[in-house]
Chains A and B, each alone.
Chain A
Amino acid sequence: MTGETTSLHFSDAHPPTQFYVDAKFANSLNNQQYEDILSRLFAFTHNPDLGSDLGSNLQHYCLTESLPVSSVKDLFKTLLIVARGATKNKLTGGQLYSDLQRLGLDAGRANLFCQTWKDQSEVSDQFSKLDLKRLVDLEWKFGVTAASSELHRVGNCYIQLKMVVTKDSKRESVLMELSLPQFYTFMHEMETAKLEMGT
């Protein structure tokens, strides 16, 4: 078949036979299953920290859907390599689509992959412009100032937060102190944010 000897856009290397097997497997899934796998894939590319749960998550998913675990994991690995290669080589949607077709992926499946990949790239671009750090841990301390060098008796409350954030595998701590009113406002706003996220 064509595509076996010419190299693809997402990688200079000749794709292993496994990739064609995985594409065929992807075609055999129903729409919902394929979408579910893609959503896990791109959640992982966006947030690599999810990696620790990924294995068990996929396993559990396969059990509930009665899908063969090793096939799903192989497919996941392949799609991940393709997605990363596409990003690294800055492919256009068209180039990626053509690669997926050559691997034997159905038109509809290939289209969805490209669309999702493209949307996710835009999101990542926006995020990297923002110098966005990810929150990984939150520590806190609540205290009351008993006295200070200026005041014999103080009695005001403060909350200290330590946010541990990470970006590009670099961890750092952000320390901040909030007054009581600030704390209540902050908490209220975060509750509103949660409602808006709809979870």
Chain B
Amino acid sequence: MGSDLDDYDGLLHLLKAASKKTVIEILNKVASQLLRSGDDDVVGFLRSCLDIDADESAALFHSLTILLRKVIYSGCANYDAINAAFPSEFHKSLKELLIKGILDNHNVWTSQAIDEQVSLPRLKDFSWEVRKNIVAPSCVLHLNTSDRGSLNVEMSAESLDTMLDSLAKIRDQISSVTQ
């Protein structure tokens, strides 16, 4: 369904952009800010990029936020779905440009949203080595997680076997759920 034209008024400032490329760049920058909650001064960027004042850039930012949140949340992945997000009287050529930009970047934004979603600390990377001790070999696992940083865990052969049994169970669970 189309939205209140007022919400989208701010978008009209995009018409001051020097090129279509600039408009797309702005789209991406705002999307990044939304999805990653970064510290970038996006509103400041809009001001200098389009040579508009503080109120105008705030209005533009507001409109872009509404548009992007809607299309990302609803998973609008095709022309018709995105088109439906705009009010029917909206500036036609600007709308076409924005639709194109959203279509082109939609997958990237969805991945970013998934990456940033609420979760436990993530495993960033890991490595391992086997140490042949005097008595029995052991496996040393170097883990790097997003909250604790680096961690070293030692496993005996039995522990490793038990771990592999658990991992196999997980794998079976995954197979039974996904196609």
Does residue A198 face the partner (Cβ distance < 8 Å to B)? yes
A133–B148 CA distance with the chains assembled, in angstroms? 14
* Known A133-B151, A151-B114; contact A176-B174, beta-carbon cutoff 8 A: no
Residue of B nearest to A195 (CB): B130
Residue of B nearest to A44 (CB): B135
Of the 9-residue stretches A5-13, A73-81, A99-107, A134-142, which lies at the interface with chain B?
A: A134-142
Contact with A along B81-125 (1 / 0, CB 8 A): 000000000000000000000000000001001101111111100
Contact with B along A169-199 (1 / 0, CB 8 A): 0000011111010111011011101101111
* Known A174-B143, A180-B174, A189-B128; contact A199-B151, beta-carbon cutoff 8 A: no
A46–B128 CA distance with the chains assembled, in angstroms? 20
Does residue B159 face the partner (Cβ distance < 8 Å to A)? yes
Whether A159 pairs with B75 at a CB distance below 8 angstroms is: no
Does residue A98 face the partner (Cβ distance < 8 Å to B)? no
Which residues of chain B are within 8 angstroms of A177 by Cβ–Cβ distance? 119-123
Whether B72 pairs with A151 at a CB distance below 8 angstroms is: yes
A190–B171 CA distance with the chains assembled, in angstroms? 14
* Known A133-B153, A157-B178; contact A46-B167, beta-carbon cutoff 8 A: no
Which residues of chain B are within 8 angstroms of A67 by Cβ–Cβ distance? none
Contact with B along A43-73 (1 / 0, CB 8 A): 1001100000000000000000000000000
Secondary structure dominating the interface of B: mixed
Whether B152 pairs with A197 at a CB distance below 8 angstroms is: no
A47–B110 CA distance with the chains assembled, in angstroms? 47
* Known A120-B134, A133-B151; contact A142-B73, beta-carbon cutoff 8 A: no
Contact with A along B151-163 (1 / 0, CB 8 A): 1111111011111
Interface size class of B (residues with CB under 8 A): 35 or more
Does residue A125 face the partner (Cβ distance < 8 Å to B)? no
Whether B170 pairs with A140 at a CB distance below 8 angstroms is: yes
Which residues of chain B are within 8 angstroms of A149 by Cβ–Cβ distance? 118
Which residues of chain B are within 8 angstroms of A130 by Cβ–Cβ distance? 140, 152
A183–B164 CA distance with the chains assembled, in angstroms? 12
**Count of A-B residue pairs with CB < 8 Å:** 152
Does residue A131 face the partner (Cβ distance < 8 Å to B)? yes
Does residue A152 face the partner (Cβ distance < 8 Å to B)? yes
Which residues of chain A are within 8 angstroms of B72 by Cβ–Cβ distance? 150-151
Which residues of chain B are within 8 angstroms of A132 by Cβ–Cβ distance? 140, 152-154
Which residues of chain A are within 8 angstroms of B131 by Cβ–Cβ distance? 123
Give the contacts of A115-132 with B (CB-CB under 8 A). 116, 119-120, 123, 127, 130-132
Q: Which of B113, B134, B148, B167 contacts A148 (CB 8 A)?
A: B113
Residues in chain A within 8 A of chain B (CB atoms): 39, 42-43, 46-47, 116, 119-120, 123, 127, 130-136, 138, 140, 142, 144-145, 148-154, 156-161, 163, 165, 174-178, 180, 182-184, 186-187, 189-191, 193-194, 196-199
A-B contact pairs, 16 of them (CB 8 A): A43-B136, A120-B133, A148-B118, A150-B116, A151-B110, A151-B113, A153-B75, A161-B123, A165-B153, A174-B145, A174-B148, A183-B167, A196-B130, A197-B130, A198-B137, A199-B137
Residues in chain B within 8 A of chain A (CB atoms): 35, 69, 72-75, 110, 113-114, 116-123, 126, 128, 130-131, 133-137, 139-141, 143, 145, 148, 151-157, 159-164, 166-171, 173-174, 177-178
